[in-house]
Amino acid sequence: MTQLPQHPFTLLINPRFQTVEPYGAHRSTLLSASALAQAQTVITSWPGYTVTRLCALPGLAHAAGVASLHYKDEAARFGLGSFKALGGAYAVARLLCRELGQRLGRSVSHAELQSDPALREACADITVTCATDGNHGRSVAWGAQMLGCRCVIYIHATVSGGRREAIARYGAQVVRTAGNYDDSVQQADRDAKTNGWFVISDTSYPGYMDIPRDVMQGYQLMVHEAVSALRQWPTHVFVQAGVGGFAAAVCAYFWERDAVQRPVFVVVEPKRADCLLQSARAGEVVAVKGELDTLMAGLACGEVSLLAWDFLATGANAFCTIPDAAAVDAMRLLASPQEGDPVIVAGESAVAGLAAALLITQDPSARASLGLGSDSHVLLFGSEGDTDPVLYEQLVGRSAAQVLKDGDPA
Ligand X SMILES: Cc1ncc(COP(=O)(O)O)c(C=O)c1O
The beta-strand segments (E) located in 309-386 are 318-322, 377-382
Q: Has 289 been annotated as catalytic? A: no
Q: Has 133 been annotated as catalytic? A: yes
Which of 99, 189, 202, 388 is in the footprint of ligand X by CB under 6 A?
A: 202
350 binds ligand X (CB under 6 A): yes
R_g over Cα of the chain: 20
Say if residue 362 is exposed, middle or buried (CB neighbours under 10 Å; 0-12, 13-18, 19+): middle
* Sequence letter at residue 85: A
Which of 14, 52, 68, 82 is in the footprint of ligand X by CB under 6 A?
A: 82
d(CA 43, CA 149) in angstroms, rounded, equals 18
87/367 with CB nearer ligand X: 87
Q: Judging by DSSP bridges, how do beta strands 10-13 and 173-176 pair with one another?
A: unpaired
126/243 with CB nearer ligand X: 243
152 binds ligand X (CB under 6 A): no
DSSP state of 297: G
Catalytic residue among 72, 73, 84, 202: 84
Q: How far is the CB of 247 from ligand X (least distance, A)?
A: 6
317/383 with CB nearer ligand X: 383
Per-residue burial over 323-348, b if 16 or more Cβ lie within 10 Å, else e, is bbebbbbbbbbbbebbeebebbbbbb
Q: How far is the CB of 266 from ligand X (least distance, A)?
A: 14
Task: Please give the helix or strand (H or E) that residue 125 lies within, else none.
Answer: none
- Using alpha carbons, list the distances in angstroms from residue 63 to 1, 7, 185, 343: 6, 16, 41, 16
**Which 290-329 residues touch ligand X, going by CB under 6 A?**
298-299, 301
**Which 371-400 residues touch ligand X, going by CB under 6 A?**
383-384
86/147 with CB nearer ligand X: 86
Q: How far is the CB of 337 from ligand X (least distance, A)?
A: 20
62/136 with CB nearer ligand X: 136
d(CA 132, CA 272) in angstroms, rounded, equals 18
Q: How far is the CB of 216 from ligand X (least distance, A)?
A: 8
CB atoms inside a 10 Å sphere around CB 194: 8
Selected range binding ligand X among 226-234, 237-245, 281-289, 316-324, rule: CB under 6 A: 237-245
In the three-class reduction of DSSP (H, G, I as helix; E, B as strand; rest coil), residue 409 is classed as: coil
Residues that bind ligand X (CB under 6 A): 82, 84, 133, 135-136, 202, 240-247, 298-299, 301, 349-350, 383-384
Catalytic amino acids?
84, 133
